[in-house]
Structures are given as C-alpha cells and as structure tokens.
C-alpha cells in the first residue's frame, strides 16, 4: 500500500473514531450531522456505531446442578460440595447482545459424534 494511501485511510479511520466518540458522548446528535461534521459517509458511521457486540460464553456440566439434601457437620462453614461420579457432559452457551439493544439468538453447543 503506498504511503499516501495509508495516511489517507488512517486519517479516515481517526475521523470515524472521533465521530463515534462524539455520538457516545451525546446520543441526541443525529448521525447525519456527525457524518457531515467529521467528513465521513453516513452509512459507514451508522454501521460502525450499531455494529458493536458483546459476546458472553459460559460452560457448565450437564447433570451436576440440582437440588440435593446433604448431611454435613454443624462445624463446617460454607456450602457443601457434591461431586457426581462418572463422566460429565459439558455444554457451552453463547449469547450476543448488540450495542443498539437487540440480541442474536442463543447458541447452545452440545457434544457431538465424529463420523
């Protein structure tokens, strides 16, 4: 990439970053006005503002959680730990929320078989 083109793209990216920061400071500003003030395309600015996601992934063992009655010593402090014997099947759950407030469908990943 030529040096001049690289400098232009860096300058454009910095203008987009400044416009996004300005939007987050005052969300009442219209995106059209920000695009004009920072000399960037409205469609690019709109996409960048609304294209921020937060992914959360958690894993847990199937069949381990449950309500059980456990007899322990009265001198023990804290919670009783119950260990389930045998192999455990792990499940992964992934959720995703967009910065503008909507969320993607929940992903549940179970163990599979290789054929």
Residues 61 and 105: their CA atoms lie apart, in Å, by 22
DSSP sequence for 36-62: HHHT--HHHHHHHHH--EEEEEEEEEE
Q: Number of structural domains, the chain? A: 2
Query: What residues make up the domain containing 34?
Result: 1-51
Strand partners, 107: 94
pLDDT tens per residue across all 115 residues of the chain: 445 555 566 688 888 888 988 888 888 888 899 999 999 988 888 888 777 778 888 887 776 555 555 556 666 666 666 655 556 677 888 888 877 777 888 888 887 766 6
44 and 64: one domain? no
Q: Are 46 and 12 in the same domain?
A: yes
At 1 the pLDDT is 47
Same domain, residue pair 76 and 112: yes
pTM over 0.95: no
Q: What is the pLDDT of residue 29?
A: 86
Residues facing 55 on adjacent strands: 96
| 44 and 73 both lie in a single domain | no
Q: Which residue's structure tokens are 């960037």?
A: 40
Are both 59 and 78 inside the same structural domain? Answer: yes
CB 83 within 8 A of CB 63: no
């Amino acid at each position: 990439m030529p040096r001049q083109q690289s400098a232009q793209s860096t300058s454009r990216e910095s203008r987009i970053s400044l416009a996004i920061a300005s939007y987050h400071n005052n969300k009442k500003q219209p995106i059209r006005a920000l695009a004009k003030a920072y000399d960037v395309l409205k469609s690019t600015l709109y996409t960048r503002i609304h294209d921020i996601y937060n992914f959360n992934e958690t894993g847990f063992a199937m069949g381990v959680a449950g309500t059980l009655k456990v007899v322990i010593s009265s001198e023990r402090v804290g919670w009783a730990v119950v260990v389930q014997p045998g192999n455990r099947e792990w499940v992964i759950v992934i959720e995703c929320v967009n910065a503008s407030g909507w969320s993607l469908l929940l992903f549940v990943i179970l163990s599979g078989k290789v054929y």
